[in-house]
Structure 1
Amino acid sequence: MEEYKTIELEADDFFIEKKSRFIGYAKPVKTQQEALDFIAKIKSKHWDATHNVYAYVLRENNIQRYSDDGEPGGTAGVPMLDVLLKEGVVDACVVGTRYFGGTLLGAGGLVRAYSHTSKIALQAANIITMAECDVMSVDVDYSFYERMNNMLSDFSANIKDTMFADNVKLVFSIKKDRVEPLQSKLTDVSNGRYNLKYIESEFAKV
């Protein structure tokens, strides 16, 4: 898989539907244990909630799990999972906490409410694209530093580290297919003075 979508951070959001309060939580997770720990944390935080519904999708082994936590079957966990699948988001866990407000929403109302809970949680957690990238470094003179910075920005590289010594060393991640065009541009602009050095490959935000 060359690229995939996930979420960037742990976040939450809420809304009120017919006096029921729905809180959506989302967190990036890599393993089932991380997902279960996150679900347990939210459940203990909202031990007094009517329901703590969850869904998660993991890239490894394409694992998909959900729970309705006492809501009528198919009205809670499935809609939350559906949102993850429709957005194409993996390595993510969402928990929908509901405090019942006294008015029944009906099956259709519950499906809409839990779908919305999942959506707002993902939006708050910021959906990002991860792609196979090369981590590279380049050493440039101070006089070329600003120009190099601009060039990395033009090629959508993410700077990981900048070290200032006799010259400036930049460490950055960049999509694999952009390494060669960047090197060509750098060779052109610097008259062959600077070269990129490969460090390793990783999945990184693009």
Structure 2
Amino acid sequence: MSLFEDTYLTLEQPAEGIFRDKGSKFVAYAYPFKDEAKLKDIIAELKALHPKARHHCWAYRLTPDRAVFRVNDDGEPSGTAGRPILNVLLSKNVTNILVVVVRYFGGTLLGVPGLINAYKSATQACLDEASIVERTVNDVYRVQFEYLQMNAVMRIVKDENISVLEQHFDNNCVLVVEMRQLQVEAVVGKLSQLEDVQVSYINTL
């Protein structure tokens, strides 16, 4: 992701797709996915849903810059399942997504090319059904200021159309705000010019 790009493509809601070859059935499930800790629960749910399936192979991509990914072949020959799933995610340029492909063995060996094609095709069928949406990369900041600066701070927040996540108004006021990365330099610059206003970075969404 370049310095001037603050958007990414991801999944709006879970989706499913199916591919069949020589009696084997490949059922693909795609999920919006940001937390690696939830992977085990999702796999456990699918194993409970498909107790007779032979394999539960998966791949995921994380973070707006699309830098984090993992694959798992779950007993299939190395490189024939997780990597083809990931390659579809790469070609679709999507992130914050997990795809699990559940395989029912049909009795006929597909061979390495056949497996690669099956896991790729199941994933493609799933994402063809999915709703892919564009999201902005947002930063979260804490703004602390004296009560007397309330009007000036809130005017900037309104003018720049910034989302307020939390607010605490007292003698010392605190706002937790979310803004697109492309806005950050201008907004932080305006706020920092005000007297007794402190702006601190929290994290990226």
Instruction: State the TM-score, normalized to the length of structure 2.
Output: 0.63
1:122 equivalenced with 2:122 (yes/no): no
Q: CA RMSD in A?
A: 2.2
Query: Does the 8 Å CA contact 2:101/2:119 hold for their aligned counterparts?
Result: yes
Picking from 82, 103, 111, the partner of 1:106 is 111
- Report percent identity of matched pairs: 40
Equivalent-residue separation in structure 2 for 1:63 and 1:43 (angstroms): 25
Gaps of 5+ in 2: 139-157, 164-177, 181-205
1:85 is the counterpart of 2:90? yes
1:30 counterpart (16, 34, 39) = 34
Give 1:71's match in structure 2, choosing from 70, 76, 79.
Answer: 76
What CA distance in whole angstroms lies between the structure 2 residues aligned with 1:28 and 1:202? 22
2:150 maps to what in 1? none
Alpha-carbon distance, 1:196 to partner: 6.6
What CA deviation, in whole Å up to 9, does each residue of 1:36-82 have, x standing for no partner? 32222212221220111111111168321111111111111110011
Question: For residues 10 and 81 of structure 2, what CA distance do their matches in structure 1 show?
Answer: 21
How far off its partner does 1:132 sit?
Answer: 4.8
| Distance in 2 of aligned mates of 1:34 and 1:128 | 22
CA–CA separation in structure 2 for the residues paired with 1:202 and 1:7: 21
Q: Is the CA contact (8 Å cut-off) linking 1:3 and 1:132 kept in structure 2?
A: yes
In the TM superposition, residue 26 of structure 1 has moved relative to its aligned partner by 0.3
Distance in structure 1 (CA, Å) of the matches to 2:137 and 2:83: 31
Distance 1:128 1:75 in 2: 28
CA 1:100/1:29 → structure 2, altered by over 3 Å: closer, same or farther? Answer: same
- Runs of 5+ consecutive residues of structure 1 not aligned to the other structure: 134-194
1:198 match: 161
Alignment partner of 1:50 is 2:54:
yes
Alignment length (residue pairs): 142
